[in-house]
Amino acid sequence: MTDAVEGAARPLIDNTDSKRPHGLLLVAIPVLLMTWLIIWPIISAIGRTIWRPDAEGNVGFSLSSYVFFFSDQYSLNNLWITLWTTLMCAILLLVICLPIAIYLRFSSGRIPAYVQALAIFPMFVPSIILAYAFIRVLGPNGMVDILLNAVGLPKIRTPYLTPWGPVIGLVWDNIPLTVLILLSGLGNVANHAIEAARDVGANRLQVFWHIILPRISNSVLVAISFAVLGIFSSFTLPYLLGPAAPEMMGPFMNRTFREVNDPLNAITQAVITFGFCIAFGLFYVRSVARNQGK
Amino acid sequence: MERFIPAIFGPPKVEPNRAPIDWIGIAFAALLSACIIFPLLVVGTWAFTEVWRYPNVIPQQFGLRFWGQTLSRPDVWGALMLSLQLSTVVTLLSAAICLPAAYAFARLNFPGRNILFFSFLAGHAFPKFGLLIAIAAIFLQLNLIGTFWGVVLIQLVGTLLFMIWIPVAAFQSVDRRMEEAARDVGAGPLRVFWSITLPQAGPTIAAAVLLSFVGTFYETEGAWLIGAPGIRTMPVLMISFINNQMVIQFGAVLSVMLWVPSFIALMFARRVIGGGAFARGFGG
């Protein structure tokens, strides 16, 4: 993908004199669709939540829906559980995926190929099937309970319908892209840099800390940003695997919009999730654009 | 299946100097098999189980009875047909509007080309469900909630980035000198496009179209939020099966059935998703 885009920056035939606008016509429909269904809803959501009628019907600047959110204990609990879940997932993803990616980078043969195939595999399992498999394996009287019972051990305390349920599901779901992004970053670590460090007596931990980590820090941040954007407002897995209360922002927004039938507060919640993710989103877009533009 | 994946996703190789037993690799392989393959095997087993009571490690009775029961449910057929319809309509619309745009981005020079090209990332810079709520609020005013075309629109937006960026790369990888040569011997622009450009870019574009079909088939959140209560796609039906704790095997049978399109996508992905390039596409 990237290599091809590089070609665009330096076309074989230099047609700088043909800078005509008729290309605009061909891209008009997708661009208009994107403007109407992505850019406009975001602007409209912000506008409608800060610029709205007060008690007398005069339209004006008002932050009352935000004041309500941040003074409502139930909303705050939901925000808190979302932040906790996102943080736990980010930590677990790094702890799981970094060793896998480093192992894959510095080994070859059939076992690494198998490990990589497994690490990519969840990308091809829809999250709805994942949720079902989770319940059958870790749910009450699930497969893990069956196996523990067979060897005479007590049952587990099932993570199903606890805050750990969504954490486990979301980590499972996000392993493939995290591994791929980290692996791509590890491609920038030159073998001779590691050999040189080894030659002067550095141990594995020192090599990781002083040679590998500084070179992949950007990829780590991209992987985290991507995971955070996906996890913070995830819906399906928290809805099916998480507790009813407190609930993550995704199920909370869904319930406010559909069951409570309160679009204004649902949009307020959406804008608040935008606010919490804006830094990750900007960083992510900057990285992708920079990579594509290289 | 695993045989194919290394070919696409092969890690950057380092020359092996000696071959001791790869204990770390074996540990990773065992752990990942237990965490990733095992749960899916359990689901697969449930789909072909007739009786499996709690303390037994192996089901008491295997059989296909629940396949018959699942497939004779009208709501399953309705959801399957609706999902196929939706995926087809969305994929065709997406191809119709995105492929010309991709060609323009790849080949034509026009004002604002770069900024417009990268603007398609905007949808990925925001948390998805928050964005869906914002769109749903607009659809509420337009009475598009609970309608077929509301779901089509929301799923169409989800395919834009994919259906533009991958074909752009495909058009750009076409050898321009062959096109020039064809033009030199008198072929018209359409002839060049049909005989030179399309055959070279075709396979990648076909894979993008297929992946967008499969992605739309599994799209859950937009269909759930915008489609309810009128539009019940396969994943939405599956959610209600899980929530209502119906017969366990229904969910298992649906999972196995639902997984078939994913398997096809996996087969095609090795063409489109080249490991490093794919990750770089995600900013890695």
pLDDT of residue B275: 44
Q: Which residue has the higher pLDDT, A235 or A62?
A: A235
Please report the residues numbered 47 through 106 in chain B whose beta carbons come closer than 8 angstroms to any beta carbon of chain A. Answer: 54-57, 97-98, 100-101, 103-106
Q: Which residue has the higher pLDDT, B172 or A2?
A: B172
pLDDT level of residue A101 (50, 70, 90 thresholds) = very high
pLDDT tens figures, B76-113: 999 999 999 999 999 999 999 999 999 889 888 888 88
What's the mean pLDDT when you consider all of chain B?
Answer: 82
Q: Which stretch of A18-22, A72-76, A152-156, B122-126 has the lowest confidence by average pLDDT?
A: A18-22
CA dihedral B42, B45, B47, B51 (to 10 degrees): -110
Whether A190 and chain B come into contact, CB under 8 Å, resolves to no
What's the rounded Cα separation, in Å, for the pair A143 and B45?
11
Q: Which residue has the higher pLDDT, A166 or A108?
A: A166
Report the residue from A2, A112, A121 with minimal CB separation from B36.
A121
Please report the residues numbered 114 through 133 in chain B whose beta carbons come closer than 8 angstroms to any beta carbon of chain A. Answer: 114, 116, 118-131, 133
Residue B43 near residue B242 (C-beta atoms within 8 A): no
Residue B31, min C-alpha distance to chain A (Å): 10
- Residue ranges, comma separated, of all CATH 1.10.3720.10 domains in chain B are 74-281
Q: Which residue has the higher pLDDT, B269 or A160?
A: A160
Residue type, A201: G
Judge: B137–A7 Cβ closer than 8 Å, yes or no.
Answer: no
pLDDT of residue A3: 40
pLDDT tens figures, B109-149: 888 888 888 888 888 889 999 999 999 999 999 999 999 99
What's the mean pLDDT when you consider all of chain A?
Answer: 86
Question: Coil, strand or helix: which one is B173?
Answer: coil
Q: Which residues of B48-75 are buried (b: 16+ CB within 10 A; e: fewer)?
A: bbeebeeeeeeeeeeeeebbeebeeeee
pLDDT at A57 over 80: no
Residue A34 near residue B119 (C-beta atoms within 8 A): yes
pLDDT tens figures, A185-202: 888 888 888 888 888 888
Mean per-residue pLDDT for A7-22?
Answer: 52
pLDDT level of residue B5 (50, 70, 90 thresholds) = very low
Residue A96 near residue A168 (C-beta atoms within 8 A): no
Strands (E), chain B: 49-51, 61-62
pLDDT at B54 over 60: yes
- Residues listed for chain B: 284
Residue B178 near residue B246 (C-beta atoms within 8 A): no
pLDDT of residue B273: 53
What is the ipTM, given to two decimal places?
Answer: 0.87
Question: Coil, strand or helix: which one is B50?
Answer: strand
Q: Which residues of B touch A111 (CB under 8 A)?
A: 22, 25-26, 29
pLDDT level of residue B19 (50, 70, 90 thresholds) = low
pLDDT at B18 over 60: no
pLDDT tens figures, B179-234: 888 888 888 888 888 888 888 888 788 888 888 888 899 899 999 999 888 889 99
pLDDT at A5 over 70: no
Q: Which residue has the higher pLDDT, A6 or A21?
A: A21
Q: Say which CATH class B74-281 falls into.
A: mainly alpha
pLDDT at B265 over 90: no
pLDDT level of residue B20 (50, 70, 90 thresholds) = confident
What's the rounded Cα separation, in Å, for the pair B239 and A257?
18
Residue A284 near residue B283 (C-beta atoms within 8 A): yes
Residue type, A74: Y
pLDDT level of residue B165 (50, 70, 90 thresholds) = confident
Share of chain A above pLDDT 70, in %: 93
Report the residue from A11, A39, A182 with minimal CB separation from B122.
A39
What's the rounded Cα separation, in Å, for the pair A80 and A63?
21
- Which residue of chain B has the CA closest to A234? B129
- pTM assigned to the model: 0.86
Report the residue from B12, B104, B279 with minimal CB separation from A26.
B104
Print the SS3 string covering A218-249.
HHHHHHHHHHHHHHHCCCHHHHHHCCCCCCCH
pLDDT of residue A4: 40
Q: Which domains does chain A have, with CATH numbers?
A: 19-62 (no CATH), 72-293 (1.10.3720.10)
Q: Which two tokens stand for residue B187?
A: 């072929």
What's the rounded Cα separation, in Å, for the pair B96 and A32?
15
pLDDT level of residue B271 (50, 70, 90 thresholds) = low
